[in-house]
Structure 1
Amino acid sequence: MTRMIIPSTFLRRALLLDAVSCAALGLLMAVCAAPLGWWFHLPLPLLRESGLVLLAFAAVLGWACTRPQLPRLLVLGIVAGNALWAIDSVLLLLPAWIAPNGLGASFILVQAIATALIAELEYVGLKRSATAAMA
């Protein structure tokens, strides 16, 4: 049986922050991949496809923000997905993967740190959420 939670206000706000930031960054990366690729020396397919993934993730997060109850595993999956995104972003900077310029490396690191912080906020919000009563 799926364990449901009643999201705390803190969790709802963290999910909303995640949704808005994913939508904004995803739209920027998907629509402006060419100029961003030129400025940051990043591959266009990486930027465009990452942007599309972020837009899809933003839609899921937006939906989750509106639910009166959520599966605990869904929230843990969101936290884990954000943590993996942050880790993979840093690993992407290892030699032989991509070769961004300093501005591109900074862009990747800043969004990785922001994503890790949002994952932490969501985890704290999950711990503050109440377990839903079993019907």
Structure 2
Amino acid sequence: MSIFASPRFLSRVMWADAASCAATGALQLAATQPLAHLTGLPALLLTGTGMFLLAYALAAGWMAHRQPQPRTLIGLVAVGNLGWALGCAALIFGSGLALSAWGVAWVAAQALVVLALADLQWAGLRATRHAARPGPQLVA
């Protein structure tokens, strides 16, 4: 059995997603002005995404805790993570904001983390898709 097919794999990935979002969101809210100054990102963007990330962290933690895993929701999360990565790329390359090198690094790091999480979420969903479907019952 592959690591991706482990019964706890998706739960652990969702806990990692929740933790990374909670940490990022909390930092963006606790240090909005210093981060805005350091990165060139607007304070309002840091505050808004910080609040979203904290709310999302709660939802991801709920999904991680659920048994059985809410596969459809985790699939939506994976798609959302891809969307977040695309949004990060758009922010870096097409927003017209004067991001500092730290700003590019902050946004690029988020994009890389969510891409890795989306990949792990898809791998876990693929590896466990047959286990999640009830098969024919054998009667003795």
Count residues with an aligned counterpart: 128
Partner of 2:73: 74
Which structure is higher in helix share?
2
Q: Identity of aligned pairs, percent?
A: 33
Q: Which runs of 4+ in 1 moved over 4 A?
A: none
Unpaired stretches in structure 1, ≥5 consecutive residues: 1-6
Q: 1:117 to 1:96 in 2, by over 3 A?
A: closer
Partner of 1:54: 53
Q: 1:96 to 1:55 in 2, by over 3 A?
A: closer
Q: TM-score, normalised by structure 2?
A: 0.85
Unpaired stretches in structure 2, ≥5 consecutive residues: 1-5, 136-140
Give the RMSD, CA atoms, in angstroms: 1.7
| Structural mapping, 1:1-135, within 5 Å | 8-129=7-128, 130-133=131-134
Q: 1:126 to 1:8 in 2, by over 3 A?
A: farther
User: Is contact 1:42-1:98 (8 Å) kept?
Assistant: yes
Q: TM-score, normalised by structure 1?
A: 0.87
Aligned equivalents of 1:8 and 1:127: distance in 2? 13
Which structure is larger by alpha-carbon Rg, 1 or 2? 2
SS in structure 1 of the partner of residue 66 of structure 2: coil
> How big is the shift at 1:95?
4.2
